[in-house]
Amino acid sequence: MTVHIGAAPGDIAETVLLPGDPYRAKWAAETFLENPQLVNEVRGMLAYTGEWKGNRVTIHGSGMGMPSLSIYANELIRDYNAKTLIRIGSCGGMQDKVKIRDIILAMTASSISTPSSGIFKEFNFAPPADWTLLKNAVAAAETRKSNYHVGSIYSSDVFYDERPDLNKEMTRHGILGVEMEAAELYNLAARYGVRALAVLTVSDHLLTGEALPSEDREKSFGDMVEIALEAAFT
């Protein structure tokens, strides 16, 4: 048990999927895992551990933004021995070729600042995904015939952005999508020597203004969860 996670020793699997929304964690666990058991509900941050094809998996909410993700990922790694952490979440598309409901597999995650910025100071560290997880995720997406993209994303520390100039430059330089957590997850994975990947579903688009209605989002996220699970255990 930690300050933010009430799970007992052994309740958390070595492989953890991290949706931002705790209720998405509940949905994913009940939809994709066998015998999911609630192992954490401190501060309403739900976590479930079950099995997928005979492999133990925990699906744990991480909250919104890098500071929240950093708390849970630190404790999962340091106190519960998590070895593989895969973010499953939504993102905004930033290229014409990226469409609503497409999957983005984040090779790298750029940012202006993260909770790790105090460590790096003036150094612009560029954390990448784990290569094996990324390779496995590509293979899973190919097998499922999913519409997917591999490349760079931007992890923002604000939701209500007022930097159209920066968005224009990111689009110009090939950033596929924007979300709020992956860069810090990749930082922590590098620091602790564990594996990390972000598998994202495009739920809205910065260029077109399109957006999935909230009631359609869960139905569109199944491919993302299954790709993440295949990537972890292939």
Give the span between the Cα atoms of 188 and 12, in whole angstroms: 18
The tokens of 28 are what?
A: 């994913």
Residue 113 annotated as binding?
no
163 assigned binding-site residue = no
Task: Verify whether residue 79 is a known catalytic residue.
Answer: no
Q: Is 70 annotated as a binding residue?
A: no
User: Using an 8 Å Cβ cutoff, are 202 and 102 in contact?
Assistant: yes
Tell me if 4 is assigned to a ligand binding site: yes
Does 130 appear as a known binding residue? Answer: no
φ/ψ (deg, to 5) at 181 = -135, -30
Q: From the CA atom positions of the chain, what is the Rg in Å? A: 16
The single residue of 79, 161, 204, 216 carrying the catalytic annotation is 204
Residue 77 and residue 193: Cα distance in Å, rounded?
Answer: 10
Strand duo 84-93 + 195-205: pairing: parallel
Handedness of CA 150, 230, 200, 213 (dihedral sign): positive
180 labelled ligand-binding: yes
Q: How far apart are CA 196 and CA 108, in angstroms?
A: 11
CB 148 within 8 A of CB 141: yes
65 is an annotated ligand-binding site residue:
no
The structure tokens listed for 12 are 């958390």
* Residues 155 and 66: beta-carbon distance below 8 Å: yes
Q: Is 216 annotated as a binding residue?
A: no
- Answer yes or no: is 89 a known binding residue: yes
Q: Does 144 belong to an annotated binding site?
A: no
Q: Does 11 appear as a known binding residue?
A: no
Enzyme catalytic residues: 204
Q: Which residues are annotated as a binding site?
A: 4, 20, 24, 43, 87-90, 179-181, 203-204
Q: Which residues are annotated as a binding site for phosphate?
A: 20, 24, 43, 87-90
Q: Which residues are annotated as a binding site for a purine D-ribonucleoside?
A: 4, 179-181, 203-204
